[in-house]
Amino acid sequence: MPTDPFETDKPLIAPSILAADFARLGDEIDDVLAGGADLLHLDVMDGLFVRDISFGTPVVKSVRKYTDAYLDVHVMIDRPEDYAPKLVEAGADGISFHVELADNVRRTLAGLTDAVAETGTNVGVVLNPLTPAEVAFPALDDERVKLVLVMSVVPGKGGQSFMPEVLPKCEQLAKRLRSDQRLEIDGGIDAGTIASARNAGVQWFVAGSSVFGAEDRATAIAELKAQL
């Protein structure tokens, strides 16, 4: 059984494997987990919802076989309703969907929430930097939604600069969360930006390039944690 990150309200570090060396993915995962990572963030991109293509269900499945770590899957695809069941089957522990994904956000999210929550997988909602907090409120009122992920870069690639303008939105969302819900941030998190996110009420911190781009991952994770 993977360690359940919802069991604690301590701040958690979630390295994004997008910045890992995919030819050595197992070693890369071992390295960050031994170095203090609390969960793994997996960015699924289809080249449509965002410009780039990353990886899909076969990689999620292989990672699932390889590790017991909690797999936090961030879905950046055009038709998540077609792929959510496959990602669940592949072994995702949590799946987060963008609230911008459809014209009828409420209906689409409700459908996805039904399908995913039925399997016991945790459901999350993601907001792009310019999307106001209010768009997520109806989803957050759903008892099955456990995570809200605020993008602090425009999604689509790693290595971009943190956008501090999303911090007031984090504060707004943090105030509204139930005790069984968590607030996560994704994009440009490093030792220089993580404290501002923490101060805005963020609990889970996705870090791609600041962890996998470092030669010594344990030191990189320790430097992030030292700021919390």
124 lines the binding site for ligand DX5 (CB under 6 A)? no
Nearer to ligand DX5, 124 or 158 (CB): 158
Which H, E and C letters describe 130-183, residue by residue?
Answer: CCCHHHHHHHHCCCCEEEEEEECCCCCCCCCCCCHHHHHHHHHHHHHCCCCCEE
Task: Give the whole-angstrom CA distance, residue 188 versus residue 163.
Answer: 8
Q: Would you give the DSSP letter of residue 41? A: E
Q: How far is CA 153 from CA 21, 124, 186, 187, 227, in A?
A: 22, 18, 7, 5, 20
Task: Give the whole-angstrom CA distance, residue 98 versus residue 128.
Answer: 8
Q: Residue of minimal CB distance from ligand DX5?
A: 208
Per CB under 6 A, the list member of 43, 72, 93, 184 interacting with ligand DX5 is 43
Q: Is 216 a catalytic residue?
A: no
Backbone angles phi, psi at 182, to 5 degrees: -125, 155
Which helix (H) or strand (E) is 65 found in, with range? helix 57-66
16 lines the binding site for ligand DX5 (CB under 6 A)? yes
Nearer to ligand DX5, 131 or 210 (CB): 210
Of ligand DX5, Zn ion, none, which one sits near residue 80, judging by CB under 5 to 8 A according to partner kind?
none
Nearer to Zn ion, 31 or 186 (CB): 186
In whole angstroms, the minimum distance from the beta carbon of 42 to Zn ion comes to 8
Taking residues 138 to 177 in sequence order and writing x for each that binds ligand DX5 by CB under 6 A, - otherwise, the string is ---------------x-xxxxxx-----------------
74 lines the binding site for Zn ion (CB under 5 A)? yes
Of Zn ion, ligand DX5, none, which one sits near residue 127, judging by CB under 5 to 8 A according to partner kind?
none
80 lines the binding site for ligand DX5 (CB under 6 A)? no
Nearer to Zn ion, 128 or 226 (CB): 128
Of residues 145-184, which lie at the interface with Zn ion (CB under 5 A)? none
Task: Give the whole-angstrom CA distance, residue 59 versus residue 28.
Answer: 14
Amino acid at 115: A
Q: Is 43 a catalytic residue?
A: yes
28 lines the binding site for Zn ion (CB under 5 A)? no
In whole angstroms, the minimum distance from the beta carbon of 40 to ligand DX5 comes to 11
Task: Give the whole-angstrom CA distance, residue 197 versus residue 199.
Answer: 5
Task: Give the whole-angstrom CA distance, residue 11 versus residue 29.
Answer: 20
**Catalytic residue numbers, as ranges:** 43, 186
